[in-house]
């Protein structure tokens, strides 16, 4: 026969184990919620170069067009770094409160120039995974990045996208990310959007 003291100790121990398990579940849920709502931005090294104006092509959902916008920024001499700076500024504009084309928090990881005419924009997964699905919102985002890249590095004639360094079929289910975008064709399509 088990003594009453031993029974009480076992019962107390079982209760403590149960409470610790419930607390562990609570902590796990809280961590998942925090991870889903937390905006994570990589800390980039400081950009060096003279200050000047960058041209951003900001999408507007209300009329489905791109609007040219000038921003003051540091302009690195390297066209790839200047393009990355421009895309970073564009995405920061779109993430801002009261954005004309709201997007999820995210950023450009890098811009690679394969040669002076071909640029690859590497976005982080957070931007792509949380982007609004739909032909128009996705098209406006892609077109705005292509046009902004071209403004920052005028010799670039074609742009392609990666997500976290890998190919991805679409941005959010509709707009192709695996193909090259011809800058002149995107500019012409953007002008057609403005006429409708």
- For the chain, the distance separating the N- and C-terminal CA atoms, rounded to the nearest angstrom, is 88
Rounded to two decimals, what is the model's pTM? 0.72
Residue 45 forms part of a structural domain: no
- Residue-number span of the structural domain to which 19 is assigned: 1-38
Residue 46 forms part of a structural domain: no
Closest CA to 121 of 133, 106, 101, 136: 106
Query: 128 and 64 share a domain?
Result: yes
Give pLDDT tens digits for 46-59: 566 678 888 999 99
Give pLDDT tens digits for 12-21: 988 889 888 8
Number of H helices and number of E strands within the chain?
5, 6
Residue 114 forms part of a structural domain: yes
Residue 44 forms part of a structural domain: no
Query: 170 and 121 share a domain?
Result: yes
119 beta partners: 113, 159
Query: 64 and 147 share a domain?
Result: yes
From residue 69, alpha-carbon distances to 51, 90, 179 in Å are 16, 9, 27
Give pLDDT tens digits for 185-195: 999 888 887 77
pLDDT at 106 > cutoff 70: yes
How sure is the predictor about 38, in pLDDT bands with cuts at 50, 70 and 90?
very low
Q: In the chain, pLDDT over 70 holds for what percent of residues?
A: 90
**Count of domains in the chain?**
2
């Amino acid at each position: 026969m088990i003594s009453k003291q031993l029974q009480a100790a076992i019962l107390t121990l079982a209760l403590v184990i149960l409470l610790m398990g419930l607390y562990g579940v609570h902590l796990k849920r809280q961590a998942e919620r925090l991870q889903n709502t937390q905006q994570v931005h990589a800390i980039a090294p400081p950009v060096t170069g003279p200050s000047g104006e960058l041209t951003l092509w900001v999408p507007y959902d209300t009329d489905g067009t791109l609007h040219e916008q000038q921003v003051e920024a540091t302009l690195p001499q390297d066209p790839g770094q200047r393009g990355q700076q421009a895309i970073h500024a564009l995405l920061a504009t779109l993430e801002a409160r009261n954005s004309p084309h709201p997007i999820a928090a995210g950023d450009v990881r890098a811009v690679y120039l394969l040669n002076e005419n071909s640029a690859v924009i590497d976005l982080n997964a957070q931007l792509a995974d949380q982007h609004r699905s739909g032909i128009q919102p996705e098209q406006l985002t892609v077109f705005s990045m292509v046009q902004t890249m071209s403004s920052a590095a005028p010799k670039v004639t074609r742009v392609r996208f990666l997500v976290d360094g890998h190919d991805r079929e679409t941005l959010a289910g509709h707009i192709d990310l695996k193909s090259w975008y011809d800058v002149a064709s995107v500019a012409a399509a953007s002008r057609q959007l403005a006429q409708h």
